[in-house]
Amino acid sequence: MSARIGVAVMAVLLVVYIVLVGQRAVLLLTTGEPIGVAMGVALIVLPLIAAWGLWRELSFGLRAAKLGKRLEAEGGLPDDEVDVRASGRPIRDQADALFPAYRAEVEAHPGDWRAWYRLGLAYDGAGDRTRARQAVRKAIALEAGARRG
């Protein structure tokens, strides 16, 4: 729940930023000075990139959560227990020991979104956020393709 609150706060702050920067952009564009116009254009482009990034991350989070809930409803979430440190982070050696089974599952069933999602959870448990996100993105793409197909 706290992650959702954090995301909501960041989204609201980004929207406020976009509005404030947009106002400055309009002011700079109306100066008629070449440098002011160039800065105004830049101030329009940068918030658009920020908004795109926010949309992309929120979309990823919502789709990943939806798949997680679906997998949980099917009883397909991993039931492996890994001890955690006082900080809440998993003990890496234990998480790493579980990883080969999930990698083997993906190798055996490369078109199964469930296997990719579980692999993403294993990567996350091992502390590899980049690969975790890649695996979950693959799960999202496979599930979307299965729905369409």
The domain limits of the chain are: 2-73, 92-148
| Integer Cα distance of 48 and 123 in angstroms | 32
Residues 119, 102: Cα–Cα separation, whole Å: 5
The pLDDT of residue 111: 94
**The domain 92-148: what is its CATH number?**
1.25.40.10
Residue 149: per-residue pLDDT: 65
**Nearest 5°: phi and psi at 90?**
-65, 155
Percent of the chain with pLDDT strictly greater than 90: 45
The CA distance from 12 to 113, in Å, is 32
User: In Å, what is the CA distance from 71 to each residue of 14, 15, 26, 112?
Assistant: 32, 33, 48, 12
Judge contact between 66 and 96, C-beta under 8 A: no
Q: What is the mean pLDDT of residues 50-76?
A: 90
Question: What pLDDT does residue 28 have?
Answer: 94
**Confidence label for 96 from pLDDT (cuts 50, 70 and 90):** confident
Question: Mean pLDDT for the chain?
Answer: 88
The closest of 114, 100, 30 to 70, measured between CA atoms, is 114
Give the model's confidence band at 8: pLDDT under 50 very low, under 70 low, under 90 confident, else very high. confident
Per this entry, what is the length of the chain?
149
* Gap between the Cα atoms of 9 and 22, Å rounded: 20
Asked whether the predicted pLDDT for residue 84 surpasses 80, the reply is no
82, 125 Cβ separation under 8 angstroms: yes
pTM above 0.85, yes or no: no
